[in-house]
């Protein structure tokens, strides 16, 4: 049992005790699934994106999750307004730069959010993370063209430059604050074939950031919890459809004891 596994268990217990409100401005594809994932974990989701209420709503939140999956100019403005307010309040902000690197709009929106708000954690695939730094990096929609290992050096430099935690998800997740590195080895092969699992993982990180002031720990333990739920769901799933339902059940059923015993995190 590692200290990080113990911390993962403690964070889950805090979420279930405190039920932090997680304010999501997320994409249309995953809104319902993301809300259910947060409920299953024990958090309280709110999916508010209207420009004239986001500043007020984020004032009640334990964390703000920004997901650029289905962008419009109005959505970007709502994200910036909420992000600025969260920055003023010291509320953790978690950014999911979905598809950054694929189009100028997506890449520009992600970089603008990073420039104008105090983003605490960025979670994405390797290509999305690289696009935040490398003008020449491209991604294929929401799918990564790069491996996690290819992005590690750039991610460490970018994390230090931005003063944020970067979490690159893949077969083994890589989480860094520019100095420390945690690898997360929980997950299941069916996770990439269900729409919204990456977005839901970002929302879970938001819930963990609401209860853990060490943002590196929050990102890594959130991913371990979500990955372990994926492992449990995959034991009985017959395909993507049953896996999605089983994932919600597993998130709800996992205990602190399970996390202490089965989370696989390593600090480097």
**Closest of 121, 129, 35, 115 to residue 80, by C-alpha:** 115
Q: CA–CA separation, 220 vs 181, rounded Å? A: 9
CATH (domain of 173): 3.40.1190.20
- How do the pLDDT tens digits run along the chain, 268 residues long? 589 999 999 999 999 999 999 999 999 999 999 999 999 999 999 999 999 999 999 999 999 999 999 999 999 999 999 999 999 999 999 999 999 988 999 999 999 999 999 999 999 988 898 888 845 444 334 344 455 677 788 889 899 999 999 999 989 999 999 999 999 999 999 999 999 999 999 999 999 999 999 999 999 999 999 999 999 999 989 999 999 999 999 999 999 999 999 999 999 8
**Closest of 10, 59, 44 to residue 222, by C-alpha:** 10
Structure tokens belonging to residue 94: 């978690």
Look at strands 181-184 and 173-176 and give their pairing: antiparallel
Note the pLDDT of residue 46: 98
Segments forming the whole domain that contains residue 160: 3-267
Q: CA–CA separation, 90 vs 161, rounded Å? A: 19
Do 233 and 246 meet the contact criterion of CB atoms below 8 Å apart? yes
Note the pLDDT of residue 147: 58
Q: Domains in the chain: how many in total?
A: 1
Q: CA–CA separation, 187 vs 213, rounded Å? A: 24
Note the pLDDT of residue 2: 83
Specify the pTM: 0.94
Note the pLDDT of residue 154: 84
Note the pLDDT of residue 149: 73
Do 25 and 239 meet the contact criterion of CB atoms below 8 Å apart? no
Rounded to 5 degrees, φ, ψ at 55 are -65, -40
Structure tokens belonging to residue 56: 């007020």
Note the pLDDT of residue 77: 97
Note the pLDDT of residue 150: 76
Buried b vs exposed e over 74-109: b needs ≥16 C-beta within 10 Å? ebbebbbbbbbbbbeeebbbbbbbbbbbbeeebbeb
Do 25 and 48 meet the contact criterion of CB atoms below 8 Å apart? yes
């Amino acid at each position: 049992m590692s200290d990080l596994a113990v911390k993962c268990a403690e964070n889950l217990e805090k979420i279930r005790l405190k039920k932090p409100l997680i304010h999501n401005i997320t994409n249309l594809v995953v809104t319902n699934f993301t809300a259910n994932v947060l409920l299953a974990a024990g958090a309280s989701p709110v999916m508010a994106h209207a420009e004239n209420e986001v500043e007020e709503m984020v004032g009640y939140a334990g964390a703000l999750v920004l997901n650029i999956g289905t962008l419009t100019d109005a959505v970007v403005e709502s994200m910036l307004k909420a992000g600025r307010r969260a920055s003023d309040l010291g509320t953790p902000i978690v950014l999911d730069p979905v598809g950054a690197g694929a189009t100028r709009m997506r890449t520009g929106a992600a970089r603008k959010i990073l420039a104008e708000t105090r983003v605490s954690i960025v979670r994405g695939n390797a290509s999305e993370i690289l696009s935040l730094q490398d003008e020449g990096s491209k991604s294929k929609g929401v799918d990564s063209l790069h491996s996690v290992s290819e992005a590690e050096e750039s991610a460490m430099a970018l994390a230090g430059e931005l003063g944020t935690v970067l979490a690159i998800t893949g077969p083994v997740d890589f989480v860094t604050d520019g100095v420390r590195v945690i690898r997360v080895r929980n997950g299941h092969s069916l996770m990439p074939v269900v729409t919204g699992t990456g977005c839901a993982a970002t929302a879970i990180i938001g819930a963990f950031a609401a209860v853990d002031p060490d943002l590196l720990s929050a990102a890594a333990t959130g991913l371990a919890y979500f990955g372990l739920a994926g492992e449990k769901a995959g034991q009985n799933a017959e395909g993507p459809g049953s896996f999605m339902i089983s994932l919600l059940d597993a998130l709800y059923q996992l205990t602190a004891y399970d996390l202490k015993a089965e989370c696989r995190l390593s600090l480097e």
